[in-house]
Structure 1
Amino acid sequence: MAQKLLLIDTDCGIDDAQAIMLALSQPQVKVLGITCCFGNTTVDHVCHNVVRVLSVCGRNEIPVFRGLAGPLVGAFNTLKDHFGSDGLGDVLDAKDPVGWEERVQKEHAVAAMVRLVSENPGQVSLVALGPLTNLAIAIRLDPTFPQKLKDLFIMGGNMEGKGNVSVCGEFNFVMDPESAYVVLEEYTCPTHIATWEFTCRNKLSWDFFEKLVAQEHNAARFMKTITSKCWAFSREFGVNKRDVLFGQGFVPYDAYAVAACIDPSVVTESVECAVRVEVQGTMGRGMMALDHTNVLKKTHKVLVMKTCDLTKFGELLMASLRLP
Structure 2
Amino acid sequence: MAKKLLLVDVDCGVDDAQAIMMALAAPTVEILGITCCFGNTSLENVCKNVLRVLEVCNRTEIAVYSGASNSLLGGIKPEFAHFGTDGLGDTGESASVGLEPLQKEHAVNALVRIVNEHVGEISLVATGPLTNLALAVKLDPTLPQKLKNLYIMGGNLEGRGNRTVCAEFNFYLDPEAAQIVLNEFTCPTYIAALEFVYNNALSKEFFDNWIHQKSLKGKFMKRISTKTQLHSFGFVSYDSYAMAAAIEDDIVTDYLKFGVDVDLRGQFTRGMMILDVDDRLKKHKVFLMKTCDLEKFQRLMMAALQ
TM bucket, shorter chain: over 0.9
**Whole-angstrom distance in 2 between the partners of 1:80 and 1:126:** 25
What SS does structure 1 have at the residue aligned with 2:250? helix
Instruction: Give unmatched runs, 5+ long, in structure 2.
Output: none
Are positions 1:82 and 2:82 aligned together? yes
- Residues 134-157 of structure 1, C-alpha deviation per residue, up to 9 Å, x if partnerless? 000001111111111000000000
Report whether the alignment pairs 1:27 with 2:12: no
Contact 1:271 1:303 in 2 (8 A): yes
The answer (yes or no) to whether the contact 2:51–2:64 under 8 Å persists in 1 is yes
- Shift of residue 93 of structure 1? 4.6
Question: TM-score by structure 2 length?
Answer: 0.98
The separation in 2 between residues aligned to 1:138 and 1:13, in whole angstroms, is: 23
Q: 1:66, 1:96 → 2: CA distance?
A: 18
Q: Is the 8 A contact 2:52 2:94 kept in 1?
A: no
Offset of residue 96 of structure 1: 3.0
**Residue 298 of structure 2 corresponds to residue 317 of structure 1:** no
Match of 2:65 in 1: 65
Superposition map of 1:36-75 within 5 A = 36-75=36-75
RMSD: 1.0
* Secondary structure in structure 2 of the residue aligned to 1:116: helix
2:268 aligned with 1:271: no
Letter in 2 for 1:226: I
Partners of 1:75 and 1:281 in 2: CA distance: 15
What residue in structure 1 maps to residue 165 of structure 2? 167
Matched with 1:232 is: 229
1:202 aligns with 2:186: no
Code of the residue aligned with 2:102 in structure 1: it is: V
5 Å-filtered alignment, 1:133-282, equals 133-228=131-226, 230=227, 232-233=229-230, 243=231, 247-282=232-267
Aligned 8 A contact 1:72 1:133 in 2: yes
**Which residue among 109, 112, 116 is the counterpart of 1:111?**
109
Verify the 8 A CA contact 1:52 1:96 in the aligned structure 2.
no
Residues in 2 aligned to 1:20 and 1:13: alpha-carbon distance in whole angstroms: 11
- TM-score scaled to structure 1, two decimals? 0.93
Secondary structure, in 3 states, of the residue corresponding to 2:65?
A: strand
CA shift at 1:75, angstroms?
Answer: 2.8
Gaps of 5+ in 1: 234-242
What residue in structure 1 maps to residue 92 of structure 2? 92
Distance 1:119 1:94 in 2: 32
1:302 corresponding residue in structure 2:
286
CA distance in 2, matches of 1:42, 1:146: 27
Give the Cα–Cα distance (whole angstroms) in 1 for the partners of residues 208 and 114 of structure 2.
38
| C-alpha distance in 2 between matches for 1:94 and 1:320 | 20
Is the CA contact (8 Å cut-off) linking 1:220 and 1:321 kept in structure 2? yes
Question: Deviation string for 1:146-188 (max 9, x for gaps)?
Answer: 1110000000000111111111100000000000000000000
Q: Which runs of 4+ in 1 moved over 4 A?
A: none
Distance 2:165 2:29 in 1: 38
Count residues with an aligned counterpart: 306
Conserved in 2, the CA contact under 8 Å of 1:13 and 1:88?
yes
Q: Matched residues, percent identical?
A: 55
